[in-house]
Structure 1
């Protein structure tokens, strides 16, 4: 593997300097043990795209999140939290006929947490293309970020994702896609069909190594071979992707472009909660991209923000501010004054 710095993907002209993302954000309840035994629960919010939005906002970037919430107290909690984190939610819609979704986290073992979703027919699943159209009409984003979760929620959410891709291309936004495959939401075949349409229009594709096969027309079983990952990335580049960023968990991450590949090892931390680590990684990567950093610096910031998430409980709560990025370089036990 070469350490040659790959050519940077082009960032669209500054049309307001912000990032636009969209999807479903749910109320999150985290139990202290098995749910059937009762006990206390912590209340927060959770959603892949809003996790990324919060991560970017904490790093000082203007970011908008578009979605649909119920006309209920849970929906107000979602909006209140995002506003408090500096995320622009002016494009959010309320749906009085559907509830805000719910997610329950049930810790069972030190390294095992069961997740229970209550999102069928939720307000978030009713996202429609017109919400995306209004967001672009208000201001075309510099970067459009989407995931493979939202289009799996419903036919209208799928249409919204497709419309976002069209508008992103038409307005010259840089398009970032985090594959984020969820087998509970749709089949590998359905996900692959959507991704097959997306791939030629994506500037930055982010995926774990076992998600890469879904992005190619033939699909196929996940591969854990480094050589196979490089080969799959090459095929994706040939289809028009500007950069393929592969998350390798404890092995770090690697960026593939037409000019080579660059690997960055993970930052060692004591793992507390891996939920949200991928979203934190994306936020770090896009932050450095917005700052005009090279491949090495982008990966470094991404693995750093991902490490913060792993070392902290919650989906987004541990996301660092810009001034905190250097904390992981401090010695253990150091008091930062």
Structure 2
């Protein structure tokens, strides 16, 4: 019996945001910065939060540490009413330090808590009960999440993943790329033949290459690629790009799962990503379903 719209496997941690005067940083011993803040964040959190804000029933499962950061994550999900299943590990909760320039660009210093998490065997009860009752599973590219892929191959649900800055070569990403119906990836270092490889070797129906300020590129199997232009929100200037890609993914999935076209899903993702850039921090003000629909209608009226 389906009772969850989107279930996310992996990808929650703590982001520390440092707003710096410029990127790259000047070569100095000391740089004065704005107050440093930390947030519950990372990619899986952004997707589950984005779906939750868009009115979907969403849950998440992950590995966290027996530490203050893990306690903060559990408290946050309890407060939000988002179902969270966790396995506690001695490796500690994942963290990152994100440097953000005045124009919203970021440099992420990701502490993956390695090597404690690599090769860690996890009991499948972390995901199996939720996979059995969800419409869609989004898999973060955590090493442990690879263990869920065989179950997803036979489950009665669709699957997505975000390969982030995959270079088309690194073997770590390939299992995830071939296991998903919808694949998101950064266009930054992606070689020309990588998207064709995903279609040829996996089950993908659509691949979305996200290109930041250049918008995104929608690739649907057996169709010509479509460029989705970036969205500018005049009343919401760019201050922080942290979490924009996750917001894109959430809105894309919400729209597609609602029965809309691939192109409509990508356009909704562009709007949600632009909206996320208008607030400081990570996932602090993600778009709601009402706000998204208002902006979609506004875009349609100007076409």
Fold shared by both chains (TM-score > 0.5): yes
Query: d(CA) in 2 for partners of 1:24 and 1:203?
Result: 19
Shift of 1:263: 3.2
Equivalent residue for 1:129? 122
Shift of 1:275: 1.4
Equivalent residue for 2:92? 99
Deviations along 1:128-178, whole A, 9 cap, x unmatched?
431x44421355232121233x12xxxxx2xxx222111111113211121
Deviations along 1:44-92, whole A, 9 cap, x unmatched?
1111011100000111111121112222322121122233333210x21
Higher alpha-carbon deviation: 79-88 or 104-113 = 104-113
The structure carrying a bigger helix percent of its residues is: 1
- 1:54 and 1:82 in contact (8 A); partners too: no
Query: d(CA) in 1 for partners of 2:103 and 2:150?
Result: 44
Please give the secondary structure, in 1, of the residue aligned with 2:88.
strand
Please give the secondary structure, in 2, of the residue aligned with 1:68.
strand
Shift of 1:107: 4.2
Equivalent residue for 2:248? 281
Q: Which runs of 5+ in 2 are unaligned?
A: 22-29, 299-303
1:180 equivalent to 2:180? Answer: no
C-alpha spacing 1:138/1:195, structure 2 compared with 1 (3 Å): closer
Normalised TM-score (structure 1):
0.73
Equivalent residue for 2:201? 239
Shift of 1:203: 0.9
Question: How many corresponding residue pairs?
Answer: 284
- 1:67 and 1:124 in contact (8 A); partners too: no
Shift of 1:239: 2.6
> What does 1:188-337 correspond to in 2, within 5 Å?
192-210=170-188, 212=190, 222=191, 228=192, 232-240=194-202, 241-261=204-224, 262-269=226-233, 270-326=237-293, 328=295
Higher alpha-carbon deviation: 272-281 or 310-319 = 310-319
Equivalent residue for 1:78? 73
Query: d(CA) in 2 for partners of 1:22 and 1:129?
Result: 12
Please give the secondary structure, in 2, of the residue aligned with 1:40.
coil
C-alpha spacing 1:74/1:68, structure 2 compared with 1 (3 Å): same
Q: Which runs of 5+ in 1 are unaligned?
A: 1-13, 152-156, 183-187, 213-221, 223-227, 332-337
C-alpha spacing 1:24/1:233, structure 2 compared with 1 (3 Å): closer
1:170 equivalent to 2:154? Answer: yes
C-alpha spacing 1:109/1:250, structure 2 compared with 1 (3 Å): closer
C-alpha spacing 1:197/1:39, structure 2 compared with 1 (3 Å): closer
RMSD, aligned α-carbons: 3.0
Query: d(CA) in 1 for partners of 2:33 and 2:72?
Result: 23
Deviations along 1:218-240, whole A, 9 cap, x unmatched?
xxxx3xxxxx4xx6434432334
Please give the secondary structure, in 2, of the residue aligned with 1:260.
coil
- 1:177 and 1:205 in contact (8 A); partners too: yes
- 2:9 and 2:127 in contact (8 A); partners too: no
